[in-house]
Amino acid sequence: MDIASDSPLRSVPPSPPSLAPLHVLQVVGNGIVGGMERCVERLVAGLGRTGAFRFTVLCPSEGDFAGRIRAAGAEIGIVAMPEDPPWASIQMVASLIAAERVDLVHAHLPNAHLLSGLAARLAGVPVMTTIHGRQVILPDLEIHRMVGSHLSVVCRQSYYHALGLGVDRERVSLEPNGVDVDEFRPGPRPAQGVRAALGLPGDALLAGFVGRLSPEKAPEVFVRSAALLLQRLPDAHFVLIGEGPMKTQLRETIAGMGLTSRIHLHGGVDDVRPVLRDLDLLVSSSNSEAMPLALMEGMASGLPVVATRVGGVPEIVEHGGTGWLVAPRDYEDLAGRMHQMLTLHELRRRMGEAARARMERHHRLDRALERLADRMRAIARPAGAASTLAVARVPRMAAGPAQAGGRKAR
């Protein structure tokens, strides 16, 4: 069952000259550059340039993510976001909402949801949160019930899980992730890419894992499957692209098996596009996913995939059409499907083309942003409505490049 709307593609229209852009406060509970953070970055960049939206982004610390958000054109604020937010953080965010005339607060991760929900309730402004995981967890459910926040989920499993928990249909909506099919597209292998960095021949078979090296992504299952497959394909190579808490453990495991010349830890990269063009096959061994960007970007780049059947992954991967689905932690089936893909060139080519076509047809970023823009407009405070907090106007926070269309007084 496809998740994309059948409606024709429409660009997000600019604000009418007489109206100010919708001011959305994004509250992001983490500061790494991961899948969730990249979704926020693309939202800010994609909708901010239309002039119909203005964004301020709060994050827990300075770093690469904050820098990327500034480059995308948003104003940035730093605020403490522990799981139990202090009054100083709640008061700061509530005052910012009122002073800067925020129309909607949009949270990401439970700690940000709690802080946003309390502050927005004090200021009398609507709040929504995007659930980036495959289920609505208890903290998000408790906050939703306490402050009346709107839950936006990214895959059907999350949507029906929320309904099963008793969330009102009017308070939950499905806005799947999208991928920029112009940015991620098939292309020639880079002359100085992953293969060159690892010293691999150009014709070597190379399967890759792209993602955070953390337990929910199960990179150790990818390593175990690769080790099993090397017994049948001793000349194949495998690479893990990413950073995370399991990196040292994985390095020791690979060394202990004597496979450091075949299973490679490459580390993180700033631009994953040339990495994807260097691979023959993309593998996702996750225990938990909702709608993973890495998988979508690989498929848009023309890669066939082997992925675990979790969360929203079956909504992306057509089993037997764009790749293969296996059960979580079934390293033997994973190895078998990888063997099939790596040894059958025509199958890889056909599935890679089908993967690209599926992303173009059903999962375009522009359509995903359009759906999210419509949802934010529907939830936001009505134009002209005042905050319930009366505070003096304060200078703007550290600003990025000027927003397209500027900001007009209400």
The answer to whether position 222 is within a domain reads: yes
65 domain-assigned:
yes
Distance CA 218, CA 206 (A): 19
Spatial contact of 303 and 355, defined as CB atoms under 8 Å apart: yes
Q: How many residues does the chain have?
A: 410
Q: Give residue 408's region: left, alpha or beta (phi > 0; psi -120 to 50).
A: beta
- Are 166 and 199 in the same domain? no
Residue 289, domain CATH:
3.40.50.2000
- The yes-or-no verdict on residue 401 having pLDDT over 80 is no
Q: What percent of the chain has pLDDT over 90?
A: 83
Contacts 24+ apart (CB under 8 A), 146-149: 146/117, 147/117, 147/118, 147/120, 147/121, 148/121, 149/107, 149/113, 149/116, 149/117, 149/120
Task: Give per-residue burial for 43-77: e unless 16+ CB within 10 Å, then b.
Answer: bbbbbbbbbbbbbbbbbbeeeebbebbbebbbbbb
Residue 322 falls inside a structural domain: yes
For 101-157, the pLDDT digits (tens) are 999 999 999 999 999 999 999 999 999 999 999 999 999 999 999 999 999 999 999
Segment 168-212, tens digit of pLDDT = 999 999 999 999 999 999 999 998 899 999 999 989 999 999 999
Place of tokens 């990269």: 269
Burial class (CB in 10 A: 0-12, 13-18, 19+), 191: exposed
pLDDT digits (tens, 9 = 90+) for 317-353: 999 999 999 999 999 999 999 999 999 999 999 999 9
Q: Which two tokens stand for residue 79?
A: 């605020």
160 and 101 belong to one structural domain: yes
- Residue pair 327/309 in contact (Cβ under 8 Å)? The answer is yes
Residue 392 lies in a domain: no
Please report whether residue 374 resides in a domain. Answer: yes
The answer on 234 and 162 residing in a single domain is: no
CA 357 to chain centre: 21
Same structural domain, 27 and 155: yes
In terms of domains, do 130 and 199 share one?
A: no
Phi and psi at residue 75, in whole multiples of 5°?
-80, 145
Give the model's confidence band at 18: pLDDT under 50 very low, under 70 low, under 90 confident, else very high. Answer: very low
Return the SS3 of 42: helix
Domain for residue 172, yes or no?
yes
The number of distinct structural domains making up the chain is 2
β-strand partners of 58: 27, 77
CA–CA distance, 91 with 396 (Å, rounded to integer): 17
Does some domain include residue 67?
yes
Where b means 16+ CB within 10 Å and e means fewer, 358-375 reads bbeebbbbebbbbbbbeb
Judge contact between 126 and 150, C-beta under 8 A: yes
**352 plus 223 within the same structural domain:** yes
Domain identity same for 56 and 172: yes
Task: Looking at the structure, tell me whether residues 87 and 215 fall in a common domain.
Answer: no
Could you tell me if 211 and 249 lie in one domain?
yes
* Residue 124 contacts residue 388 (beta carbons within 8 Å): yes
Q: Which two tokens stand for residue 180?
A: 């920029």
d(CA 326, CA 317): 11
- Tens of pLDDT, residues 59-117: 999 988 999 999 998 999 999 999 999 999 999 999 999 999 999 999 999 999 999 99
Q: Residue 116's domain spans which residues?
A: 22-178+364-379
Which H or E run contains 99?
A: helix 87-99
Q: Tell whether 293 and 210 lie within a shared domain.
A: yes
Residues 234, 371, single domain; the answer is no
**What pLDDT is stored for residue 8 in this prediction?**
31
One domain for residues 174 and 210? no
Residue 187 covered by a domain: no
**Which one, of 146, 182, 143, 179, lies nearest residue 27 by Cα?**
143
**Digit-coded pLDDT (tens) for 209-245:** 999 999 999 999 999 999 999 999 999 999 999 999 9
d(CA 112, CA 140): 10
